[in-house]
Each structure stands twice: as structure tokens, then as C-alpha cells.
Amino acid sequence: MTQKGITLKEVAAAANVSRATAARALNSYGYVGDETALRVLEAAERLGYRANLVAQALRSGQLPIVGFVPGDIQNPFFARIAHDIEVELRKHRHNLLIASSEENVEQEKELLESLRSLSIRGFILAPTSATDSQHIVQLANEGAPVVLIDRVVKDLQCDSVVVDNEGGAREAVDYLIANDHERIGLLRDESRIFTAQERLAGYQNSLRSHGIALDESLISVSRSTVEHAVEATIRLFSRRNRPTALFTVDSLMTQGALLGLRSMGLSIPHDVSLVGFDDFNLATFTDPQITVVAQPISEIGPLAAKFLLERLAGKKIAPRHIRFPTRLIVRGSVAQFNRR
């Protein structure tokens, strides 16, 4: 069935030395005679020897693999980060194992459970729940380095790389208010997720600081998929006295809002102004282009990978918590309320 690879033993035999000497020659440590080393290297080359990483892992206790558990690999945000992490890891001869939690805590638990027995060296996680995180704490306690991205978790001391969700959301809503909107709708996802909570807080803080009363009827909650967001948008805008502007908390929601509003015959920005959290390539293809709060997505993956690699190399310092600022990109989806 599986054709066996060349083992160290065979190389050693071919070079007429012991396994120990062959290992020394190949990994250049300890004393080896020059001529012997040459013979071993030549034999290894000739036979096409490649070290068995599993055997190495059994001794060292660790496979050169890092686990990445994003909310959903199909989300371009995570796909981009996965790609960046992989590039970084590859430089250090590590592989990336991706296992989507699909935003499901139970699945996240199962995944981590199964990855743990794989002797994986470290983890980069986007935890699904801000509170139900005992399994992650446990993972970290077992000694495997963990870096959190996009979302953090209570009671867990480890590196994290997130963005300023509250500030970004606040800036978005501030901008709508600066354009004389007061009835500002919010399309948000389930609060279980950390980013959703922070973005909600930003929305609330902005309104509050401008003396605008919160109106629960302006908030629509849905699952974070385009389809659910379409429905939630239609629900929101079917009410009497509907919002004049809408803030959506992620790019899937924004896409859903776009479709929902179009299906209701509402035009942007004439009938409704729109600002979305998270930039996405579609935002510049629509007419008008969509104003968004952009995350520095290209920095998250590489930094998370860097942190993890440092931990793998044994760096022992206090956990670092990086929070990147966001940036409001003004395009054409917001109109001044009075001028409509």
C-alpha cells in the first residue's frame, strides 16, 4: 500500500555508520569526522532521505503544525487572515491546520478537543463565545501557546490581536449623525460574539453622547449570513417611521442590507443612508459605493503569527494585547438627511 520512505537506519547502513552518527551528520551537532559526515550526506542525498516528522514529533512532543480556528473560512476576512498566517508560518517550516468553528461553540469545543490529541504546537483562535470559554482556558493551561484574534475572551491570559470595534462603530454612527441623521437603524448579529457586543456599544455610545435616545425598535438582530440579514433588513424597514440611515456590523450584514433594501425598492443614499463595518471588495462595485469602517486586515494575520512563533520559540513575557484602530472610508452611501 503505502510505499515506505527511506529511514535513517537505511542511510546509516548505506554510509556504513551507526544511526547515531548518521543523525549527527544530518543535524550537524556533536562530533562527526569530516569524511564520515560527507559519506552520510551523500548517502542521504542518493537515497532521497527525508526525516519522518511524525517520529520527530513523538520524541519532541510537538508536530510542526499550528491550528487555526476561525469563525468561518468562507468569510473573506478570515480567508485573508488564514492566508497571511500561513505565509508567515511557512517561513518557519510550520504548517497550518484550519478548522472552522462555524460560529458554533459546541463545534469549537469538539474541534479543540480533537486537535489537542494531535500534539499541535500552538493555536490561533477567533473564539465564538465571549463567555463560554472554559475549554479555551483549559487548552492554554495545558501549555500550548494560544493567540486570540478578532475577539477576546474573559479570564484568559494570552496574546490577542483585535481591532477597536467600539471606536469604529462609534465613528460610523458619529458620521451619520454629522449628516443630520437621528433615526439610525442597527443591523447586528447575536451578542454572543465579542465583536458584536463592542460594535453595539459603539453605536449606543455615539447616540448617547449626542443626546439621542436609544430606540430598541431601530435595532434588528439576525444571524450573520447574507440571507438572514436580508430578512432582518426587510423587517426593520417595513415598520412605520422607519430609520433614515442604517449601520451594519459586518460585511455579510451589509450585503444582506443591500439586497434587502433593493428588494423593497429603497435606494441608497436617497431613501436610506448606509455605513457598514468591515470593508469588502463588493463595496466599491456597487452604485453608489458603500461607506465603510475598514479594519487593518493585512496586519492582523502576520502579527498573530509573529506572536505565536515567538511563544513557540520560548519567549516568556506578559501577554500582549494589540488593538488596531479602524478607519472610516467615506464613499457614496451616506446623504445628508435634510438634503434628501
> Cβ of residue 208: shortest distance to a copy of itself, in angstroms?
34
Binding of DNA at residue 31 (CB under 7 A)? yes
Residue 276: enclosing H or E segment and its boundaries?
strand 273-277
Q: Which three cell numbers stand for residue 229?
A: 440579514
Binding of DNA at residue 94 (CB under 7 A)? no
User: Considering CB under 8 A, how many residues would be counted as binding a copy of itself?
Assistant: 56
User: What Cα–Cα distance (Å) separates residue 210 from each residue in 14, 119, 196, 206?
Assistant: 80, 52, 22, 6
Q: Interacting stretch for DNA, rule CB under 7 A, among 25-33, 156-164, 222-230, 247-255?
A: 25-33
Please tell me what DSSP assigns to residue 96. E
Please tell me whether residue 49 adopts helix, strand or coil conformation. coil
Q: Interacting stretch for a copy of itself, rule CB under 8 A, among 115-123, 168-176, 195-203, 209-217?
A: 115-123
Instruction: Give the helix ranges, DSSP H, for the chain.
Output: 8-15, 19-27, 34-47, 53-60, 76-91, 105-116, 134-141, 165-178, 194-209, 226-238, 251-263, 297-312
Task: Using the CB atoms, write b or e for 161-183: b if 16+ within 10 Å.
Answer: bbbbbbbbbbbbbbbbbebebbb
Over the window 56 to 85, marking each residue x when it contacts DNA by CB under 7 A and - when it does not, the resulting string is x-xx-x------------------------
Q: Which of residues 224-283 bind a copy of itself (CB under 8 A)?
A: 226, 255, 258-259, 281-282
For DNA, which residue of 1, 3, 4, 211 counts as binding (CB under 7 A)?
Answer: 4
Binding of DNA at residue 36 (CB under 7 A)? yes
Cα torsion 79, 160, 330, 180: sign = positive
* Alpha carbon distance 153, 158 (integer Å): 10
Return the residue matching grid coordinates 461607506: 291
Rounded-to-5 percentages of helix, strand, coil across the chain: 45, 15, 40
Q: Interacting stretch for DNA, rule CB under 7 A, among 22-30, 89-97, 107-115, 234-242?
A: 22-30
9 binds, among DNA, a copy of itself, none (CB under 5 to 8 A by kind): DNA
Binding of a copy of itself at residue 73 (CB under 8 A)? yes
User: What Cα–Cα distance (Å) separates residue 315 from each residue in 42, 121, 302?
Assistant: 37, 14, 17
Q: Interacting stretch for a copy of itself, rule CB under 8 A, among 65-73, 149-157, 191-199, 232-240?
A: 65-73
Over the window 244 to 263, marking each residue x when it contacts DNA by CB under 7 A and - when it does not, the resulting string is --------------------
Binding of DNA at residue 19 (CB under 7 A)? yes
259 binds, among a copy of itself, DNA, none (CB under 5 to 8 A by kind): a copy of itself
Q: Which amino acid is at 160?
A: S
User: Where on the chain is the footprint of DNA (CB under 7 A)?
Assistant: 4-5, 7-9, 16-21, 23-24, 26-27, 29-37, 49, 51-52, 55-56, 58-59, 61
The footprint of a copy of itself (CB under 8 A) covers: 1-5, 50-55, 57-58, 61-63, 65, 72-74, 76, 79-80, 82-83, 86, 90, 93, 95-100, 113-119, 141-144, 226, 255, 258-259, 281-282, 284-287, 314
